[in-house]
Amino acid sequence: MTESSNINGNVFFHWLKLFVNNIGAVRPQVLIMDGHFSHLSQQAVEFAVANSIKLFLLPSHTSHFLQPLDVSVFRTFKHTYNDALASFPKMKGLGDAALPTRDDIPALTRVPFEKAFSPTNIRRGFFKTGIFPFNVDIILEMMVGSLSTQHKMQPPHYAALETSAFDLQLSVRQKQSLQRQGLDLDALNVVAIHAKKLVIPQVKPRSRGAFVTPSMTEGVLLTSVEMREVFNAHAELKTMRAEDTESNRLHRYMKRLEADRMKATKQQTAKQELMERREMRQEDVAALKARRVEQRSDAAQRRIEGKIAARNAKEAQQAANHKSGRRPAALEGEASKPQRKRRALHDITDAIQNLS
């Protein structure tokens, strides 16, 4: 199984090897296929050429009437499976609306598969498509099909009504004449369109693929020399594109590495500058602290020197006063202050008695 549940080139190549191992020794053999992309593999084509297998692709949009699988096998399987699906409720004894589950699918598909892929039905597919036994009349009949229904015999009244059943194509004078009679041209057109739908037979849709237009592409023999050259050219082009893609990828990778390197360099430079600024700031802070310490030390030194000078001056003044016999100015100031008179004891006693 593949991831998408659809066939791919590898699965087809594996199937082709099984096909070659089971067709006997008669060569050459022809394998008729549709134009699915999984069949367009150079590996499969080279393997087919090496084993004398001719790979033929059917024309586009013709596999439904030229491919035996579609005409007989798959169609039979679909019809019989739909019948089994319709009888499923009765088979299970359930209601009419009962639907099968995933576990019921193998039982439902067993009989349709056996009928569809029986040897008789497979041979019938080759016969109905005119491939084997080869029958050109069957192929042409399937390709051309019947004439379109619009060319078949028409009813007797159609010829008489055909000219008047289409949209009104009137001259200006005719329109003016009808308007003078009080007739509504839009209403007449509506009636004419409705009459045309009733009178003209409707063309029934043709079943898919019943007619092949001239623009239909022709079948292709993949194992021919021309197609092998096309495959080789395509492979070379694919290789060149792969090399260009790889070169572009490598170029983008190198640019990304260069951008990452420049980004890392810028980040490292910015980090280095930030560290230098931090170091300079730390140095500035340390120098400022040192200056402040020095200033405080100088101020303290000046205060100490001032105190020492003041004390020395005081001691020198005291020594000079002592030598000259003068009292210190502070003592003289105290002596010059008026002394407080002391009251006699009897005066205090008399004052207390007077208060009492």
pLDDT of 54 strictly over 90: yes
Residues in the chain: 356
The answer to whether the CB of 59 falls within 8 A of the CB of 216 is yes
| For residue 106, pLDDT beyond 80 | yes
Mean pLDDT taken over the chain: 78
Question: What pLDDT digit, counting tens, does each position of 323-332 carry?
Answer: 776 655 555 5
Q: Which of 32, 42, 36, 39 is nearest to 61 (CA)?
A: 36
8-state DSSP, 150? G
The string of DSSP codes covering 100-145 is --GGGHHHHHHHHHHHHTSHHHHHHHHHHTTTTTT-HHHHHHHHH-
Tokens of 260: 């990452």
What lies within 8 Å, CB to CB, of 94 at 6+ separation is 88
pLDDT tens profile 282-321: 999 999 999 999 999 999 999 998 889 998 888 888 888 8
Question: SS3 for 75?
Answer: helix
Among 21, 37, 128, 135, CA closest to 74: 128
Beta strands, E only, 167-301: 220-221
Does 218 have pLDDT greater than 60? yes
Cα angle 323-324-329, degrees, rounded to a multiple of 5: 105
Nearest to 146 by CA among 197, 214, 207: 207
Distance, CA of 222 to CA of 118 (rounded, Å): 29
**pLDDT tens readout for residues 194-206:** 555 655 555 555 4
Q: What is the DSSP annotation of 28-73?
A: -EEEEE---GGG--HHHHHHHHHTTEEEEEPPTT-HHHH-HIIIII
Q: How much is the pLDDT for 182?
A: 74
Ramachandran angles phi, psi of 94, nearest 5°: -110, 180
| Vertex 110: Cα angle to 22 and 33 (nearest 5) | 40
- pTM across the whole model: 0.48
Helices 75-86 & 105-116, crossing angle to 10 degrees? 140
Q: What is the pLDDT of residue 3?
A: 75
